[in-house]
Structure 1
Amino acid sequence: MRGLPLILTYAAFAALAIIVNLGVQRLVLATSLHWGFGAGGGPFVAAMFFGTLAGLVFKYVLDKRWIFADDSTGIKAHGRKFTLYTFMGIFTTAIFWGTESLFWYLWHTDTMREAGAVLGLCIGYVVKYWLDRTLVFTTSSNTAQAGPDTGRRS
């Protein structure tokens, strides 16, 4: 997959991962309110953590197969790639969490918190694609074609 189909597929997967992430965040926050923990710092951090984890696993499965055409199998291959994928996500997660937290701090509304989350995730996913393409999925059959067309194929 190349060009516009790749961009649109990646964007669709990112949008789905955002929905998964924010859905889990809402679930964690609603559960914390139901059990009387409130919506303070602890539940907020837990919601970001579990939402991020759910989105990470969801997106890894989609990216590995459909974006980078990585057909490696086995626990060793998955463990190595998922570890690298997660490590690359640390920087992009900082972008996402920082933006979401800033919006929450400035406006103290769920709508603006989620707007900050979406903005941070969009920026993060652009950076993450580049990191994954160059550092994680380096042996997949699609990696050479995943980037800009250079007129040659590996």
Structure 2
Amino acid sequence: MKIALIYTIFAVIATVANILSQDLSIRIYSGAYSVVFSVLVGTAVGLVVKYGLDKKYIFKYQTADLQHDTRTFYLYSLMGIVTTLIFWGFEFGFDALFNSKEMRYLGGIIGLAIGYYIKYQLDKRFVFIHRKSL
């Protein structure tokens, strides 16, 4: 139960980082494809924040060196493809349905919540497993 609570807190932190970086991105650039660009920026920021928190505090996983950390991050990112599509589906879906920034962000939050639950299951089984060599 404690891990679930901590994981949820970290998901909220990564979600806030994602949404805030999207909002900052939109404020800096509001031209063509600004929403798509902001979602990509938010996704990247959220990914890096969540990876660091999950690796250190949830899975207490230590990488041997930079190469091992890079491979682990690659696997972590790979597991996130499906969950990112869920997140994007909700965010872009809400944007198309409601045509408002607030509802787009709400869609993003819902998509991230669903995605993070699935992501934990994938990471636990395929990314943060203890083995000598990858």
* TM-score, normalisation: structure 2: 0.95
Distance in 1 between the 2:44 and 2:104 partners? 18
- Equivalent position of 2:96 in the other structure: 105
- Equivalent position of 2:53 in the other structure: 62
Distance in 2 between the 1:139 and 1:46 partners? 36
1:48 to 2:5 alignment: no
Give a deviation string over 1:92-148, Cα, whole Å, max 9, x none: 0000000000000000011110110000000000000000000000117xxxxxxxx
Q: Alignment partner of 1:60: what SS?
A: helix
- Equivalent position of 1:139 in the other structure: 130
- 1:1-154 residue pairs with structure 2 within 5 A? 4-33=1-30, 37=31, 42-139=33-130
Distance in 2 between the 1:127 and 1:57 partners? 18
Q: Which has the larger radius of gyration?
A: 1
Aligned CA RMSD, in angstroms, stands at 1.0
Distance in 2 between the 1:114 and 1:46 partners? 14
Identity of aligned residues (%): 39
Distance in 2 between the 1:96 and 1:114 partners? 11
Distance in 1 between the 2:59 and 2:48 partners? 15
Gaps of 5+ in 1: 141-154
Structure 1 residue identity aligned to 2:70: G
The number of residue pairs the alignment matches comes to: 131
Give a deviation string over 1:70-112, Cα, whole Å, max 9, x none: 0223111101100000000111000000000000000001111
Distance in 2 between the 1:71 and 1:43 partners? 37
Bigger relative contact order, structure 1 or 2 (CA pairs below 8 A, ≥6 apart): 1
Distance in 2 between the 1:25 and 1:87 partners? 22
Distance in 1 between the 2:130 and 2:39 partners? 32
Structure 1 residue identity aligned to 2:65: G
Gaps of 5+ in 2: none
* TM-score, normalisation: structure 1: 0.83
